Structure 1
Amino acid sequence: MKIIDVEAIWLRIPSFGELCEWGEDAFLVKVHTDTGLIGIGESDSAPAVLKALIETPSSHSTSRGLREILLGENPLDIDRLWNKMYDESSYMGRRGAAIHAISAIDIALWDIASQHYGVPIHTLLGGKVRDEIAAYGTFIPKDKPADNVTLVEGLLEAGFSSLKLGGGLFGTDPTHDHEVLQVVRDTAGENIDLAIDLVYRWKNYRYAKTQGDRMREFNLNWIEEPLPSDDHLGLRRLAETSESRISGGEGLSTVAEFTEFIRESRPDIIQPDITRCGGISEMRKIHYVATRYSTQLVPHGFSTGILMAATVQFLASIRDGELIEFSQSTSALSLDLVTNPIVLTNGKVTVPDTPGLGIELDEDLISKYRVEMTLGTRL
């Protein structure tokens, strides 16, 4: 079996020049083989950049486009191809966007291998250790605190026993944040786990410590990304002094970067995104390091049903994969790109036993929102 094409697909709902909110653009790949098997993957990153990384013509032996690197290769050689992509694209970066693009392709290769062997991905990863995974609902709070009552009530009706809020205006004004949390906690009750995501909006350790102490009354399950991931000292001091657990790492990539983050920042929870950190292959290595350092791994996941399907397969294969993020995005790409998405039942998701990612894409939706950009053509 040989790879005959790597199709890089950029989707975007708003027109250029209009603001693009979370979930309103997407990047996916289709890895085509000469046997007709097609693997699907995605990366929650900057689509135009990732498309260029895949399609760019080579400059030299360590600055090659990922499509060029893979053509003619056996897609079942997943580990060898990961290393080949990493080595031969190294001038384009060993962190960040270059790894994001490799992540999408890696997921697609696992999809192909699972279909080829006729078993679920979790079987290839060592076996399924759970049939269902508890989910926590992530939502962007309404700007007016009182408007969050109906939103939270809907999440409770869906069966969530764990919630996380972040984005919008949250994190920009302490008084506003306190009012939002008061409404959410009063509506949810004391038995619901509640976490917050600051998206790096707290300015430094002292400011973050002050704000975290002010929020102590809300009994937060964790405080996510209060400071940038490279502020190791600030995060470590928070982890050592905060009553709430400190989490982060959704923007990091590769086991090397996560090892540094864990050693230096000492977070209670790391949150690698399977579509950014290096795919399923690298997520396995990151999980091993987290286990060695007694750090919980709760993957980030705020994108399409492709990310969700890949994350479910990974979590089903590890002993401590007990919690998954469930985005509340209302974007058409989040809701409709996958026609048979992982669904929530009583606050949990069921682990599929079908080969591959087990998903089908809405090709009409892809055609509707596809952005055409071609590299390598001379006029």
Structure 2
Amino acid sequence: MKIVDIEVIELRVPGWTGETFDGSYDNCLVLVHTDEGLTGVAEVDSVPSVIRAIVDARRSHTHAMGLKEAIVGADPSDVEGLWERMYDLTSYYGRRGAVIHAISAVDIALWDLRGKVQNKSVGALLGTRQRDRVLAYGTVYPLGETTDEVRSNIDRGLKLGLKAIKIVADPFWRDDIDKTASLIRAARDHVGPDIRLMVDAATAWAKAEEGLPLMPIFKEHDFFWVEAPLPIDDLDGHARFQGFGVPIGGGDLGLTTHYEYEAAFERGKIDIAQPDVTMAGGITELRRIADLARRLGKRVVTHGYKSNITIAANLAFLSRHWMDEPCEYSTSQSPLRWHLTRESFPIGLDGRIAVPEAPGLGVSLDPETIAKYRVA
């Protein structure tokens, strides 16, 4: 079997302007086609036109070429070897950032293809199953500015069946600590002690001094983690959030490869790596990040806010992960979130999602959705 093409498909919901921090209203599918008619499927949370350029780029020299030229004609079964080949042959202009995003998508598609060839799920390829259902967590934003709004907005997550809810920090939190404390208290009182609560700062704080006063509030109300407290490159600032008794997560806003996560662990002192499998290096690199985390006594909780393709990849990984960590379950209203695949992943009464066991990722693309939202 040989790879004969890498196809990039850009999707976008009409009217979407990109003026809010939500990547679920456009998408970039990457398909790896073979000479035997099998195709591996993936998506990437990046800029679709940039991914297309990286895949299709004409060779400049031996270490600066597009991914298509790098691997078309190769045997797709050597997934890890092809990752190294793509990394090496793009190293002059890559190694981090968008090139790793593109490599991530191709890598995920190759894992999907490997599973289809071997008639095994990606989870089965990754090792011994530790669990067949994974806890889902979803984001509620905005939380609201009154206790009534907090209860109403939290109910949106509870109605989905979520037993773990991540709220997003608003910029006004840093200016009115007392009001913020009352809103956080209202959220905890409304869900009770058995629902996990987390908070995503998501760039709301520009410097540590803006977020540190809130940490005792999160500790008091038993928050499971604080995510992305600062801009991603402020590793010294991240380290200042230690000592409050609430785990600090990071990486979802753009860290790629285990090299960057090593710095985040060691200098930034983060407790939880939150790699997006479609950005950080694909399934191959996600395993390396997990190996690094385990050696350092850290945790891994995958990020993902695209479609069921990303959820399927994360479920495959988390079902084999040594810790029972939750899977991010996008609550976006985008039709691309819910209708891009024929399969769905409903949340059960236990707040968990069943791990797909069909060959590959266990998802198939919906042609009508692709036709409706495809960018010419």
TM-score range (shorter-chain normalised) is over 0.9
Match of 2:357 in 1: 353
Q: Which of 299, 303, 317 lines up with 2:302 in the alignment?
A: 299
CA distance in 1, matches of 2:61, 2:180: 51
Q: Does the 8 Å contact 1:100/1:278 carry over to 2? A: yes
Letter in 2 for 1:8: V
Match of 1:331 in 2: 334
Match of 1:63 in 2: 64
Q: Which of 321, 328, 348 lines up with 1:318 in the alignment?
A: 321
Q: Is 2:296 the partner of 1:261?
A: no
Deviates more, 1:178-187 or 1:123-132: 178-187
CA distance in 1, matches of 2:307, 2:192: 30
Per the alignment, in what secondary structure is the counterpart of residue 303 of structure 1? coil
CA distance in 1, matches of 2:124, 2:195: 33
Q: Is 2:5 the partner of 1:2?
A: no
Q: Does the 8 Å contact 1:298/1:321 carry over to 2? A: no
Match of 2:40 in 1: 39
Q: Is 2:274 the partner of 1:271?
A: yes
CA distance in 2, matches of 1:16, 1:266: 37
Match of 2:347 in 1: 344
Q: Which of 283, 288, 293 lines up with 2:291 in the alignment?
A: 288
Taking structure 1 as reference, are residues 321 and 88 closer, same or farther at Cα in structure 2, changes over 3 Å only? farther
RMSD, matched Cα: 2.0
Where does the alignment leave 5 or more consecutive residues of structure 1 unmatched?
373-379
Structure 1 residue 205: Cα displacement: 2.4
CA distance in 2, matches of 1:190, 1:352: 30
Structure 1 residue 187: Cα displacement: 1.9
Per the alignment, in what secondary structure is the counterpart of residue 329 of structure 2? strand
Which aligned pairs between 1:60-209 and structure 2 lie closer than 5 A? 60-145=61-146, 146-166=148-168, 173-174=175-176, 177-178=180-181, 180-209=183-212
CA distance in 1, matches of 2:9, 2:361: 18
Letter in 2 for 1:10: E
Q: Number of residue pairs matched?
A: 371
Taking structure 1 as reference, are residues 17 and 302 closer, same or farther at Cα in structure 2, changes over 3 Å only? closer
Structure 1 residue 179: Cα displacement: 5.1
Structure 1 residue 266: Cα displacement: 1.6
Letter in 2 for 1:42: E
Q: Is 2:237 the partner of 1:245?
A: no
Output one character per residue of 1:186-233: Cα deviation in whole Å (capped at 9) or x when no partner: 321233221110112213223321132344443322111111232222
Letter in 2 for 1:228: P
Per the alignment, in what secondary structure is the counterpart of residue 11 of structure 2? strand
Taking structure 1 as reference, are residues 48 and 16 closer, same or farther at Cα in structure 2, changes over 3 Å only? farther
Taking structure 1 as reference, are residues 9 and 219 closer, same or farther at Cα in structure 2, changes over 3 Å only? same
Structure 1 residue 172: Cα displacement: 6.5
Taking structure 1 as reference, are residues 47 and 290 closer, same or farther at Cα in structure 2, changes over 3 Å only? same
Per the alignment, in what secondary structure is the counterpart of residue 163 of structure 1? strand
Structure 1 residue 21: Cα displacement: 5.3
Q: Which of 208, 213, 221 lines up with 1:218 in the alignment?
A: 221
Per the alignment, in what secondary structure is the counterpart of residue 58 of structure 1? coil
Deviates more, 1:315-324 or 1:247-256: 315-324
Structure 1 residue 173: Cα displacement: 4.8
Per the alignment, in what secondary structure is the counterpart of residue 289 of structure 2? helix
CA distance in 1, matches of 2:69, 2:283: 22
Output one character per residue of 1:61-104: Cα deviation in whole Å (capped at 9) or x when no partner: 11111112121111111111111111111122211110001000
Letter in 2 for 1:248: G
Deviates more, 1:67-76 or 1:363-372: 363-372
Output one character per residue of 1:117-159: Cα deviation in whole Å (capped at 9) or x when no partner: 1111122112222111111122222555433423322432443
Taking structure 1 as reference, are residues 168 and 91 closer, same or farther at Cα in structure 2, changes over 3 Å only? farther
Taking structure 1 as reference, are residues 315 and 215 closer, same or farther at Cα in structure 2, changes over 3 Å only? closer
Output one character per residue of 1:292-349: Cα deviation in whole Å (capped at 9) or x when no partner: 1111111111111110001111111222143211111111011111121222112101
Per the alignment, in what secondary structure is the counterpart of residue 291 of structure 1? helix
Structure 1 residue 264: Cα displacement: 1.1
Deviates more, 1:258-267 or 1:314-323: 314-323
Letter in 2 for 1:73: A
CA distance in 2, matches of 1:16, 1:334: 14
Deviates more, 1:288-297 or 1:150-159: 150-159
CA distance in 2, matches of 1:52, 1:276: 16
TM-score if structure 1 supplies the norm length?
0.92
Letter in 2 for 1:108: A
Identity, % of aligned positions? 37
CA distance in 2, matches of 1:92, 1:335: 35
Output one character per residue of 1:26-79: Cα deviation in whole Å (capped at 9) or x when no partner: 111111111110100111112121111111222221111111212111111111
Per the alignment, in what secondary structure is the counterpart of residue 32 of structure 1? strand
Per the alignment, in what secondary structure is the counterpart of residue 210 of structure 2? helix
